[in-house]
Amino acid sequence: MSPEPDPTRTADIARKTGETYVEISIRLDGNGVCDVDSGLGFLDHMLATLAKHSGFDLSLRANGDVVVDDHHTVEDCAIVLGRSFDRALGERHGIARFGSAYAPLDESLTRAVVDLSGRPWPEVLIDFDRVLIGTAATENIIHFFRSFAIEGRMALHIDLIRGDNDHHKAESAFKALALALGAAVSPQRSDMPSTKGSLR
């Protein structure tokens, strides 16, 4: 069932499985305030980057089976974040819908383009050299973006244009995504941004 429209553009969602417990609160019209604890330091750093540069207020608590590895925690944080984002958007009436941004971090440069169309489609092209950044697997950073796009019901294209340092590559990608999302959710019109009259 589609989430009900919420004029406050906020959402609170919790999800419990046999592998993780994740609870998230998001406010799209915020100030970039972030309070996160996923149990994975690098993921926390990336989520703080996402909140800061999108302007979303974000609170996240996760308790996952990190003694196994980081996969379930990263995946489930992305799933719940995407669902929270979708719910906070409501019917998506009056938003810009599209957003794009380039974000550099030193030698790294990433482009992110989003369409909050209601139709999920992730295309993420980032070449990492290392297996891990901190305790997060680089393959799971890509998985995070894909899972977030699917659950957030958006077309998401992230392309690393250049870069050498894997930390910089990941962070420039999160910054570009944040800037693109901030633009796409901005209330810039009075109608439904679709010729169909619906983004459902």
Rounded to whole angstroms, the Cα distance separating 38 from 171 reads 17
User: What is residue 116's DSSP assignment?
Assistant: -
pLDDT digits (tens, 9 = 90+) for 7-49: 789 999 999 999 999 999 999 999 999 999 999 999 999 999 9
Predicted local distance difference test score (pLDDT) of residue 3: 42
In the prediction, which pLDDT does 192 show?
A: 57
| Whether this model's pTM surpasses 0.75 | yes
What pLDDT is attached to residue 196? 63
SS3 24: strand
Closest Cα partner for 163 from 132, 126, 138?
Answer: 126
Structure token digits, residue 43: 């993921």
pLDDT exceeds 90 at position 189:
no
pLDDT at 132: 98
What is the Rg, in whole angstroms, of the alpha carbon atoms belonging to the chain?
A: 16
Q: In what order do the strands lie in the sheet with 155-162?
A: 98-105, 108-115, 155-162, 121-125
Tokens 């989003």 identify what position?
114
What is the structure's pLDDT at 2? 40
pLDDT in tens, 153-180: 999 999 999 999 999 999 999 999 999 9
Contact 26, 182 (CB under 8 A): no
d(CA 34, CA 57): 6
